[in-house]
Structure formats: C-alpha cells, structure tokens
C-alpha cells in the first residue's frame, strides 16, 4: 500500500491527521537544528553552499511556523510527536553505513 492509498485513511481520522501534521512540524523544526549545525561546521566555506543552506533553513523554519500556527488553530498538541522521527531514523541508518565501510569509523 502506497502513500496515495494511505492518505485518505489518515485524513478521515482527525486524531491521526493531527499527529501526522505535528510530525511534519517537528521534522521541519528539527531540520533547522541539523542544518544550522552543518553551516557552523562548514565555517563559511564554500560560501555558495553556506548561502544556499541558510536559505533552506529559513524555508524549513517557515514551514514549521505555518504548521505550528495551523495546529494551534485546530486545538492540536504541538509537543514532541509519538514515534520515531524520520530524520533520526535517517541519521541512524547513515551511522550504520559508516561503520560498515572499512577504515571509516564514525567518531559520533
């Protein structure tokens, strides 16, 4: 079953719908932290990448703000959503791949 088949079920269930919107909000917000950390590690170089990442951070923050406002208007919870963040799961998978590569250890 793909996303197109699942979406109508999510939208029909108000509680599930609000949880999913909050998960999107949380991940947009969390992306700002991760991308800001990356910009700081780059220390200004390459300039074009730092600029592009800075613009992307602003976009992510706007998305998080819009979703936060929407959820508040709907009277929904805006705390940390249940379940695993897809960003944290992605990080976990990347870390696993780093350990599998010979001579390449993650200093995590």
The pLDDT of residue 108: 45
Q: What is the pLDDT of residue 14?
A: 96
State both tokens at 85.
């963040």
Q: How far apart are CA 12 and CA 16, in angstroms?
A: 8
pLDDT at 90 over 80: no
Instruction: Work out the mean pLDDT of the chain and round it to a whole number.
Output: 89
pLDDT digits (tens, 9 = 90+) for 34-76: 999 999 999 999 999 999 999 999 999 999 999 999 999 999 9
Phi/psi at 6 (nearest 5 deg)? -80, -40
Q: Inform me whether the pLDDT recorded for 101 exceeds 80.
A: no
Whole-prediction pTM: 0.77
Give one DSSP letter per residue of 21-55, joined into a string. HHHHHHHHHHHHHHHHHHHHHHTT-SHHHHHHHHH
């Amino acid at each position: 079953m793909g996303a197109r088949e699942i979406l109508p079920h999510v939208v029909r269930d108000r509680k599930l719908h609000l949880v999913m919107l909050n998960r999107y909000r949380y991940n947009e917000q969390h992306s700002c932290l991760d991308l800001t950390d990356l910009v700081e590690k780059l220390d200004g170089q390459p300039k074009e990448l730092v600029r592009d990442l800075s613009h992307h951070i602003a976009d992510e923050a706007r998305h998080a703000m819009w979703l936060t406002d929407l959820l508040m208007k709907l009277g929904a919870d805006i705390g940390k959503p249940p379940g695993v963040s897809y960003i944290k799961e992605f990080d976990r998978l990347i870390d696993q791949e780093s350990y599998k590569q010979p001579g390449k250890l993650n200093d995590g």
